Amino acid sequence: MLDQIKRDLSQLSNPEKAKKLSGFFKTGKGQYGEGDIFLGISVPEQRKVAKRYISLSLNDLQELLSSKIHEHRLTALLILVSKYGKTDDSGKDEIFHFYLKNTENINNWDLVDASAPKIVGAYLFNKDTSILFKLAKSDNLWERRIAILSTFNFIRNNDFEDALSISELLLHDEHDLIHKAVGWMLREIGKRDQEIEERFLSKYYMHMPRTMLRYAIEKFDENKRKFYLTQITHKKR
């Protein structure tokens, strides 16, 4: 079955699209996706393949996750998300720990975003979330993104505490992909309770990277957006 899924994905490859994706996901030397190999397969096509192979074992998924081919890893994660949603508590526990053992292979932003909220976030909801704070302090960019993206599940359940605490921890992160992720989660909080988001912003917006702030205030009315952006622009002069 493992060989078959690799063949199925190979048959869907599109060299022209692969070239574009390699640029989009920054695979050049020194970039965050350095060395990643793309086949050029759309996410909807990968979802269709994943649906056919939901019975793949964790051992087989481990091999896919260890591949240098991006679509192998993303398809494996899509399968893992599906398996998580269909299994019992014991199975969820196994998948959660399997996921955390593979963070080095969940090494691009789309891989994190497609899986962390639905596995890590889902598992930790109403549980001890200390592992997220450990990940948020990691030297590994993707573990830090897993930490903040996992809180998306909590936010969807109107639980904002961990998202705000981790946002505070990542306030001075150096990477643009973390700025975007934190801003995104703050925006999601604001969509549900703008007052809570603005309380956070009132304390920290002057210290935020501009990208983080822009993402965070994207859904505010125009006058309020201009206020925040004007203030931070004046501060940086």
The two structure tokens encoding residue 69 = 């081919």
Domain end among 81, 100, 124:
124
Convert the pLDDT of each residue in 200-224 to its tens digit: 999 999 999 999 999 999 999 999 9
CA distance linking residue 202 with residue 231, whole number of Å? 11
Instruction: Judge if 221 and 199 occupy the same domain.
Output: yes
Instruction: State residue 23's pLDDT score.
Output: 94
The two structure tokens encoding residue 40 = 């050029």
Instruction: Judge if 89 and 181 occupy the same domain.
Output: no
Query: Residue 218 sits in which domain range?
Result: 126-237
Convert the pLDDT of each residue in 94-126 to its tens digit: 999 999 999 999 999 999 999 999 999 999 999
Give residue for tokens 């703008």.
194
Instruction: State residue 236's pLDDT score.
Output: 52
Total of domains in the chain: 2
Domain end among 124, 157, 183:
124
Instruction: Judge if 84 and 140 occupy the same domain.
Output: no
- State the CATH number of the domain containing residue 24: 1.25.10.90
Instruction: Judge if 39 and 135 occupy the same domain.
Output: no
Instruction: Judge if 54 and 92 occupy the same domain.
Output: yes
CA distance linking residue 14 with residue 131, whole number of Å? 39
Instruction: Judge if 13 and 98 occupy the same domain.
Output: yes
CA distance linking residue 49 with residue 45, whole number of Å? 6
Instruction: Judge if 87 and 183 occupy the same domain.
Output: no
